[in-house]
Amino acid sequence: MIDIQSSPLILYFIAVLLASSPVAFVLERLSRRAPALFSGAFLIASGSALALSGTLDGTFFVLADLPFLGRIALFADGLSSLMLIALLAIAGLVSISGTWSGGEKPEAQRGFQALFLLYVAGVAGLFLSANLVLLFAFLELTLIASWLVLGWWGGQGRGRTSIKYFLYTELGALIFLAGVLMLWGSIGTLDALSAPSGTPISPGSMLAVAFIIAGVFVKSAVFPTHGWLPDAYSESPPKLAAALSFSTVAIGAYLLLRVFGSFVPGALSDPRVSGTLAAFGLFNIIYGGLAAIRQKDLRRVLSYSSISQAGYVLIGVASATQIGFLGVLIWAVAHGFGKSALFLISGEYRRLIGTDSLDGLGGLAGKMPVTSSSLLLSFLSLAGIPPTLGFWGEFFILFGFASSLLSAGIDPLRMGVLVVTAAFTVVSAAYGLWTARRILYGESAPGSQGARDRPSFALPLFSMVLVLVALGIMPFLLTGAFWIYHG
């Protein structure tokens, strides 16, 4: 176990991040681009400082000690720190994409960036919460902020879609909270810093774990609770869709890794728990991949692709190995950068060409070379093809699951999960390359004559893809920093 030190810096960081939201709102009085430029600069600078200095890693700060809930604290280990840095980098690049040329009218942007920063602050607070009730409070903040953005700035179907999004994800959050309270009654604490790591798993703990898993399934759009995701992604503004694409997978991955890594590490040794996660993971990989192939527009392809890729997270957690957990972290980061880039590209196609329908796109490789190369590399990462970061995430997940299979004895069912999961990586590559071919090559679409790369859009976009390739070549930057706190 790595020692952690008390430091108020982690509190200052969250406070400044929360305060950035009203600052962005005030900056709207200066110009319509000022809030986005401020947000992007602030988030990227914060993420870079944390990555280079490691200031928060291994620190905690106690906010209060309450009679019933115990210690309410913030803390950062090698899991939360890496998730946080990825969040800040992605959100910062998303904020500035397309900001300093073109864009919407000022009225369409009023309040958007303030809510976007509030959403980012909620996700960051979730990653840095030691107490599970505090984590739930930040989870609620992310839900409210994203719901408001979707409801105010979404597409034509935003009214119905925002209600569906809120009901589904709030239900998932409440199921998760019920599991947290059951876990509290079983192990006697909600604080990751004081959770006993060697406590035997009781029937109460197993029931709590079942509720927590069910809540995470809803929040991460795991089949059959995925109904909210395709519509929400299709109707969201491009920047919100890009941020949601990271957080939906990353939050689900983080919640499972935190609960199983810091609170009930022994639960995964029960074949009912690991088997359930593996079975749902495999089904989502198959269902999401096959559904993605059938879609007619880019956002729908990306939506069902997210359902498929959430399955790899479940397989990695089911491995109950540190290398499998590492694979989940890397997969979440790779998915975040790659999928966020693709949702931004989809929004750019809608802005320039008027559609992201695959039938209405074509021949864009020569017209938009930077955007086109970013599209292709992002799909390659999501398919787990080297030298992108997605390859390492997929490799460590499969390796971790294989090692758990060998250590526990050959189980035909788990062997089948491993074989089919590995084989279905071909499907991910197939729908990604098929989609890219339809968009980039062939006859030019009628509305694409004026399509071109905008520097203000292409630079942040290419930066995302550059991170995927750089970390794919140097994965030790993530593997060397990963660790999960055990009480």
Query: What digits encode the pLDDT tens for the residues 229-287?
Result: 888 888 888 898 898 888 889 999 999 999 998 888 888 888 889 899 999 999 999 99
Q: Which of 163-177, 398-412, 424-438, 472-486 has the lowest mean pLDDT?
A: 398-412
Give me the pLDDT at residue 31, please: 79
Considering the chain, what is the average pLDDT of its residues?
89
- Structural domain that includes position 213: 5-479
**Bridge partners, residue 66, by sequence:** 70
**Predicted confidence (pLDDT) at residue 199 exceeds the cutoff of 70:** no
Query: Residue 485: inside a domain, yes or no?
Result: no
- Do residues 435 and 382 lie in contact, with contact meaning Cβ atoms separated by under 8 Å? no
Residue type, 409: G
Supply the DSSP symbol for 129. Answer: B
**Helix/strand/coil percent split, the chain, to 5:** 70, 5, 25
Query: Residue 456: inside a domain, yes or no?
Result: yes
- Do residues 256 and 132 lie in contact, with contact meaning Cβ atoms separated by under 8 Å? no
Here the tokens at position 250 are 């990353």
Distance CA 373, CA 274 (A): 39
Residue type, 344: L
Q: Render pLDDT for 441-471 as a digit per residue (tens, 0 to 9).
A: 877 777 777 778 888 899 999 999 999 999 9
Query: Residue 419: inside a domain, yes or no?
Result: yes
- Do residues 122 and 138 lie in contact, with contact meaning Cβ atoms separated by under 8 Å? yes
Give me the pLDDT at residue 354, please: 85
* Tally of CB atoms within 10 A around 409: 7
Query: Residue 220: inside a domain, yes or no?
Result: yes
Q: How many domains does the chain have?
A: 1
Give me the pLDDT at residue 106, please: 41
Here the tokens at position 124 are 């960051």
Give me the pLDDT at residue 2, please: 66
**Predicted confidence (pLDDT) at residue 105 exceeds the cutoff of 60:** no
Query: Residue 331: inside a domain, yes or no?
Result: yes
Distance CA 20, CA 321 (A): 38
Query: Residue 144: inside a domain, yes or no?
Result: yes
Query: Residue 133: inside a domain, yes or no?
Result: yes
**Predicted confidence (pLDDT) at residue 347 exceeds the cutoff of 60:** yes
Give me the pLDDT at residue 107, please: 40
How confident is residue 337, by pLDDT bands cut at 50, 70 and 90?
Answer: very high
Query: Residue 484: inside a domain, yes or no?
Result: no
Residue type, 320: A
HEC profile for 70-126? Answer: EEEEEEECCCHHHHHHHHHHHHHHHHHCCCCCCCCCHHHHCCHHHHHHHHHHHHHHH
Supply the DSSP symbol for 260. Answer: I
Average pLDDT value for residue range 60-83: 89
The predicted model scores a pTM of 0.93
Residue 199's SS3 state is coil
Here the tokens at position 88 are 């800040």
Average pLDDT value for residue range 359-378: 89
